[in-house]
Amino acid sequence: MKWSKMLAVTLIVSSLAAAAPAFAEREIANEPAWDSEPAPRNFDPKKREEADKRVFDKESIRMAANPIIVIDPGHGGDDPGATGNGLKEKDLTLDIALRTRNYIVANYPATVYMTRSSDTTVSLSSRTSFANARNADFFVSMHINSATNTSANGIETYAYPGSVNGKRLATETYNQLKSSFSSHRGVKEYAYYVLTYTNMPATLGETGFISNASDASKLAQSSFRQTLATQYANGMHRYWWGF
């Protein structure tokens, strides 16, 4: 009799353990609800109404919705950037940048600015002063590579020499983007203008070679550009959140 009792108890405990999540998981956070205590003496419904009507000024939104990110689609307007295989760098960078912006805005409370959001000519000094004026938390410049040797292909990202956080941003974006390419050219340091004259950590990404037929055929597909955009956004997320 004893053994059957033991078996029954064990089974009941196991069954309870299997059901444990039902007790532990809650749909609503276990915090005091409105009816758990009477309203405080200083509660004034009129004041609350006034507060509810208060228009949020840009500054309070900015404070709540951080970080401020400036995305820089390389080239544009009179400057097509690299060209090859029927593609122009300025069009690809703009498309990837707009997709990245949308992905970030749809998923994170970031304020995203673009140095250009159409096919216009923007000088390098305008791009960096734009980012500096917005007091951005970080800056991501998007480019497509090109080489006279048409077999060159793959991904590389850049940071300003000696910039600890720039390197971290470049590494995080690189780690995400590299799964889209078979050739991993590494995280490099170089004093590009936009990396030099921005006040904040900055990176410059070269996602594929327009001069390489295989990279170009992938870049021509909108689904591939969406993947690159998602990877850029995930890299920025990891940089900012720390995981």
Partner 1 sequence: MKTRKKWLFLCAACLSLTAMLIYAMAVYQPILFVAGDHIFRKDDWERIKPIYFHGRPHTPEEEERLLEQRSLEELVLYMGRQMGVRIDERIIDEHMKQLGSTKEEREQVLRQMNMTEADSVTNIRRALIGFEVKRRVTGEITVSEEEINSYYREHLESFRIPELRTIYYVRAGQADKPLMDKLKTIRAERFPSLLKEYDLEGRAGFHEWISQAELSATVGEEAAEAVFRSPIKQVVGPIVSEQWTYWFLPDEIMPAKTQSLAEVREKIYRTLYLEKESIVYGKWLEEQKRANLYCLFTENLKNNRFWAFWSDLPVRLQLLFQSHA
Q: Quick check: 186 binds partner 1 (CB under 8 A)? A: no
Determine which residue in the list 165, 184, 185, 220 makes contact with partner 1, applying CB under 8 A: 165
Contacts with 142 (C-beta within 8 Å, 6 or more apart), sequence order: 71, 72, 73, 74, 93, 96, 97, 100, 204, 205, 207, 232
Chain positions 104 to 163 lying near partner 1, rule: CB under 8 A, are 105-109, 111-112, 123-124, 132, 137, 146-149, 160-163
Distance (Å, whole) CA 98 – CA 94: 6
Determine which residue in the list 50, 151, 213, 241 makes contact with partner 1, applying CB under 8 A: 241
- Minimum Å gap between C-beta 38 and partner 1 is 20
Assess whether 172 carries a catalytic annotation. Answer: no
* Phi, psi angle pair for 155, to nearest 5°: -115, 140
Q: In whole angstroms, what separates CA 198 from the centre of its chain? A: 19
Nearer to partner 1, 44 or 179 (CB): 179
Q: Quick check: 25 binds partner 1 (CB under 8 A)? A: yes
Determine which residue in the list 39, 45, 59, 164 makes contact with partner 1, applying CB under 8 A: 164
Distance (Å, whole) CA 110 – CA 87: 31
Nearer to partner 1, 29 or 39 (CB): 29
Q: Quick check: 14 binds partner 1 (CB under 8 A)? A: yes
Determine which residue in the list 199, 213, 217, 221 makes contact with partner 1, applying CB under 8 A: 199
3-class DSSP state of 33: coil
Among the listed ranges 17-25, 33-41, 42-50, 212-220, the one in contact with partner 1 (CB under 8 A) is: 17-25
Both structure tokens of 7 = 């078996």
Q: Quick check: 31 binds partner 1 (CB under 8 A)? A: yes
**Residue type (1 letter), 56:** F
Among the listed ranges 41-49, 195-203, 213-221, the one in contact with partner 1 (CB under 8 A) is: 195-203
Distance (Å, whole) CA 98 – CA 116: 10
As a whole number of Å, the CA-based R_g of the chain is: 26
Give the length of the chain.
243
**Which residues are tagged catalytic?**
206
